[in-house]
Amino acid sequence: MDIFPISLKLQQQPCLIVGGGHIAYRKAVLLAKAGAVIHVIAPEIESNLLEIVESSQGQYVQAPFSLDIQLRNYRLVIAATNDKAVNIQVFEACEAEKILVNSVDDPPHCRFMVPAIIDRSPLVVSIATNGTSPVLSRQIRTQLEATIPHGMGKLADFSGQWRASVKAKIINPDERRIFWEDLYASPLKEHVFNDNIAEANRLIEQALLEWKTPKGEVYLVGAGPGDPELLTLKALRLMQQADVIIYDRLVSPAILELCRRDADKIYVGKARSNHSVPQEGINALLVEYAAQGKRVCRLKGGDPFIFGRGGEEIQELFAAGVAFQVVPGITAASGCSAYAGIPLTHRDYAQSVRFLTGHLKEGSPELPWKELVYENQTLVLYMGLVGLEKICAQLIAHGQRPNMPVALISKGTTPEQKVVVGTLADIASKVSEYQIQAPTLTIIGEVVSLREQLQWQG
Ligand SMILES: C[S@@+](CC[C@H](N)C(=O)[O-])C[C@H]1O[C@@H](n2cnc3c(N)ncnc32)[C@H](O)[C@@H]1O
């Protein structure tokens, strides 16, 4: 993070704008909204800017900027002239005095930036790009404007009025957060939006009266194969409300970024034959945190019920009497095949598809080989990289043609996705040639040949 966002309280604080034209006026409007006392120094001033200066109880000094000005009298300074050299002079003078300074449209000469703002006072959302793209900030602001109801400011005010009472009644901060989250998800919000404050007050009083320490719960959430945009809405919502996130190796950093920032994040690993926390330990962790009343998000790559041991985890929760929810995710077979341009079924090539684990017990394949050698069937192998050579050899030995197309999709749906196509006879030799790394999904079947036409990703 190259910039540190803060929210400044500027009511009654003297702020200086250097420049008297339209750019200065736009900044003055914002400062005035924040209650600042606005002073302007410039040889000339536009009448609308002068009005703002006067109504904020500030002063207009009709003069060019000079180093004699006592910058220490101001909380912050904005250099808004149309002369870049003057703006730089203002910047340097402020830096020498350690006064916060912004030179309009000149990021290298800014100590602070003015973000794009969504004003639902007292709720204020600011969006900044460290001066790299004001247009992008504005575009995001437009999107957010549409999604944050105008009544949000009233809700923030309402919450502020109740904050002390809620704090006095619910001492534990985690519980207090759950209280507010539940409240914001209840009809109370609509009453506040519609100015029905009496009813909103009644509801919050009742909720406080009936408040009980919440029971813990576990959300078993499928995070999909890697691209964060493949998360379901429900997954995202639960990831953002959980107190604890227990995640494994297949959960991409980009997805982890979307979890609640202050949630405890616990890595439980699980690379092949390197289980940072063994399965029994993970099960115990889930039960333990839930018993503490926490909302636990067990975040797993792909879908929790497809080669994800999700079933075992919820059996344990069931036995311990812990409440749980299961959120399906896009499994690697769906995500990787889509991003590789390989439809798993196709009227002309495959009427069925089988998901198999290639994780070989004690190194020897235990798959129903005979059932796997039909022509019009697609095979999808999870965890098949290590045993690939043996698996291909077995399929050929059981009658599959050696030139049957095979695709390896490594790190599918992520920016590092790599797809290598070959045949049953030669695919194993391509693993080291193309430096294919885990996680890799293997697709075997005639549908693989469609990639030539349907490929739309790297
Ligand atoms: C333990 S299984 C978990 C599967 C997961 N529950 C799912 O539904 O996708 C791990 C295997 O899934 C496959 N896999 C998961 N994510 C993948 C990805 N982004 N690209 C390629 N293969 C992936 C690999 O075959 C990997 O060895």
pLDDT digits (tens, 9 = 90+) for 359-396: 876 666 578 999 999 889 999 999 999 999 999 999 99
Give the start-end residues of each E strand in 193-263: 217-222, 244-247
The amino acid present at 80, given as its one-letter code, is: A
Q: Write down the pLDDT at residue 77.
A: 98
Q: How far apart are the first and last CA of the chain?
A: 30
> Rounded CA gap, 406 and 12, in Å?
71
Q: Write the CB contacts of 98 (distance below 8 Å, at least 6 apart in sequence).
A: none
Of 298, 382, 420, the residue with max ligand 1 atoms within 8 A of its CB, to mutate for a pocket test, comes to 382
**Ligand 1 atom, smallest distance to 226 CA:** 19
> Rounded CA gap, 374 and 390, in Å?
19
Residue 272 has pLDDT above 80, yes or no: no
Question: Where does 14-114 sit in CATH, by number?
Answer: 3.40.50.720
Residue 456 has a CB neighbour count (10 Å cut-off) of 9
Give residue 122 CA to ligand 1 midpoint distance, Å: 45
Q: Write down the pLDDT at residue 276.
A: 73
Among protein residues, the one whose CA lies closest to atom 10 of ligand 1: 383
Residue 457 has pLDDT above 70, yes or no: yes
pLDDT digits (tens, 9 = 90+) for 386-438: 999 999 999 999 999 999 999 999 999 999 999 999 999 999 999 999 999 99
Q: Write down the pLDDT at residue 374.
A: 87
Residue 273 has pLDDT above 60, yes or no: no
Question: How many residues are recorded in the chain?
Answer: 458
Give residue 141 CA to ligand 1 midpoint distance, Å: 36
In angstroms and rounded to an integer, the radius of gyration of the C-alpha atoms of the chain is 30
Percentage of residues of the chain with pLDDT beyond 90: 84
Give residue 396 CA to ligand 1 midpoint distance, Å: 25
Q: Write down the pLDDT at residue 366.
A: 79
In the predicted model, what is the mean pLDDT of residues 113-119? Answer: 90
Percentage of residues of the chain with pLDDT beyond 70: 97
Q: What is the DSSP letter of 111?
A: S
The mean predicted confidence, pLDDT, of the chain is 94
Task: Say which of 189, 227, 243, 248 is annotated catalytic.
Answer: 248
The amino acid present at 277, given as its one-letter code, is: V
In the predicted model, what is the mean pLDDT of residues 96-112? Answer: 95
Residue 180: pLDDT band by 50, 70, 90 thresholds? Answer: very high
> Rounded CA gap, 53 and 58, in Å?
5
Which residue bears the tokens 């959302």?
A: 125
Handedness of CA 301, 305, 306, 312 (dihedral sign): positive
**CA–CA distances in Å: residue 6 to residues 124, 126, 263, 305, 424:** 11, 10, 22, 43, 59
> Rounded CA gap, 15 and 40, in Å?
9
Cβ proximity of 259 and 299 under 8 Å: yes
> Rounded CA gap, 306 and 300, in Å?
10
Q: Where is average pLDDT lowest: 30-44, 75-89, 126-140?
A: 126-140
Among protein residues, the one whose CA lies closest to atom 2 of ligand 1: 307
Residues with CB under 6 A from ligand 1: 225-226, 250, 300-303, 306-308, 331-332, 336, 382-383, 409, 411-413, 438-441
Q: Where are the domains of the chain?
A: 14-114, 152-209, 217-330, 341-454
Q: Write down the pLDDT at residue 214.
A: 87
Q: Write down the pLDDT at residue 270.
A: 62
Question: Where does 341-454 sit in CATH, by number?
Answer: 3.30.950.10
Structure tokens at 77: 């300074």
Give residue 432 CA to ligand 1 midpoint distance, Å: 20
Give residue 326 CA to ligand 1 midpoint distance, Å: 18
Residue 146 has pLDDT above 80, yes or no: yes
Give residue 316 CA to ligand 1 midpoint distance, Å: 23
Binding-site residues for S-adenosyl-L-methionine, in ranges, read: 225, 301-303, 306, 331-332, 383, 412
Q: Write down the pLDDT at residue 348.
A: 94
Residue 349 has a CB neighbour count (10 Å cut-off) of 18
Of 282, 331, 441, 443, the residue with max ligand 1 atoms within 8 A of its CB, to mutate for a pocket test, comes to 441
Q: Write down the pLDDT at residue 321.
A: 95
Q: Where is average pLDDT lowest: 42-51, 300-309, 353-362?
A: 353-362
Of 307, 337, 380, the residue with max ligand 1 atoms within 8 A of its CB, to mutate for a pocket test, comes to 307
**Ligand 1 atom, smallest distance to 412 CA:** 20
Residue 214 has a CB neighbour count (10 Å cut-off) of 14
Q: Write down the pLDDT at residue 110.
A: 96
Residue 210 has a CB neighbour count (10 Å cut-off) of 7
Quick one: fold of 217-330?
Cobalt-precorrin-4 Transmethylase; domain 1 (3.40.1010)
Residue 442 has a CB neighbour count (10 Å cut-off) of 25
Residue 229 has a CB neighbour count (10 Å cut-off) of 7
Give residue 321 CA to ligand 1 midpoint distance, Å: 30
**Ligand 1 atom, smallest distance to 300 CA:** 6
DSSP 320-369: HT-EEEEE----HHHHHHHHHT--S-BTTTBSEEEEEE---BTTB----G
Structure tokens at 61: 């000094």
Q: Write the CB contacts of 235 (distance below 8 Å, at least 6 apart in sequence).
A: 221, 222, 223, 224, 327, 329
CATH architecture for segment(s) 152-209: Orthogonal Bundle (1.10)
Note if 248 is an active site residue.
yes
**CA–CA distances in Å: residue 203 to residues 17, 171, 186, 306, 320:** 47, 20, 9, 43, 34
Cβ proximity of 258 and 239 under 8 Å: yes
Of 227, 247, 249, 250, the residue with max ligand 1 atoms within 8 A of its CB, to mutate for a pocket test, comes to 250
Q: Where is average pLDDT lowest: 16-25, 143-152, 296-305, 317-326?
A: 143-152
Binding-site residues for NAD(+), in ranges, read: 22-23, 43-44
Task: Say which of 27, 154, 189, 270 is annotated catalytic.
Answer: 270
Note if 265 is an active site residue.
no
Q: Write down the pLDDT at residue 365.
A: 59
Structure tokens at 434: 């193309």
Residue 159: pLDDT band by 50, 70, 90 thresholds? Answer: very high
Cβ proximity of 337 and 344 under 8 Å: yes
**Ligand 1 atom, smallest distance to 272 CA:** 27
Three-state DSSP state, 422: strand
Which residue bears the tokens 């940072």?
A: 276
In the predicted model, what is the mean pLDDT of residues 107-129? Answer: 92
